C-alpha cells in the first residue's frame, strides 16, 4: 500500500518506544477515514481489535458526519463471523491469490473514501 501512496497506521511500526499505546491508537483512529479490520478467529475475540472497533464506531456515530469513516473487513480465515461483523461486506484475504485479486478492489475503496471525505 505504501508503494501506491496510501498512508496507513500499523501499531507495530507506527508506535514509538515509550509512547502510550492506547492514546496513540485512539488518536490514529480519530484521524482515519478508512479502517481495515483483519477478521479472524483470533481478532474477533481479542481485546485490542474490540477496542479499535468500538472507538471507530463511537467516533463515526457521535462525532463525525455520516460516511466519514469507511469500514473494510478483510477475512483471513473461515471462522464464524460475530453478529457485529456479519452485516458488512468483506474481501476474502485468506490466500496469496485472493489478496492479488482483491487488492485492486481494496485500493479503489480506499481511494474513493479519500476523495469523498474532507481532510481534517
Length of the chain: 120
Q: Which of 118 and 104 is assigned the larger pLDDT?
A: 104
Q: Over the stretch 69-78, which tens digit does the pLDDT of each residue have?
A: 888 999 999 9
The total number of structural domains that make up the chain: 1
Residue range(s) defining the domain that contains residue 83: 2-32+39-116
Beta-carbon contacts of 14 under 8 Å, excluding residues fewer than 6 positions away, are 24, 28
Residue 21 CA to residue 36 CA, distance in Å, equals 19
Place of cell 464506531: 57
pTM reported for the whole predicted model: 0.80
Residue 40: DSSP 8-state:
-
Amino acid at each position: 500500500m505504501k508503494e501506491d501512496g496510501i498512508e496507513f497506521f500499523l501499531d507495530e511500526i507506527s508506535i514509538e518506544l515509550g509512547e502510550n499505546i492506547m492514546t496513540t491508537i485512539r488518536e490514529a483512529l480519530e484521524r482515519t477515514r478508512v479502517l481495515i479490520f483483519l477478521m479472524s478467529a483470533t481478532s474477533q475475540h481479542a481485546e485490542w481489535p474490540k477496542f479499535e472497533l468500538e472507538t471507530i464506531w463511537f467516533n463515526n456515530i457521535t462525532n463525525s458526519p455520516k460516511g466519514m469513516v469507511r469500514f473494510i473487513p478483510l477475512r483471513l480465515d473461515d471462522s464464524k463471523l460475530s453478529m457485529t461483523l456479519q452485516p458488512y461486506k468483506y474481501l476474502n484475504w485468506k490466500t496469496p491469490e485472493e489478496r492479488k485479486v482483491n487488492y485492486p478492489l481494496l485500493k479503489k475503496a480506499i481511494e474513493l473514501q479519500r476523495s469523498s471525505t474532507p481532510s481534517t
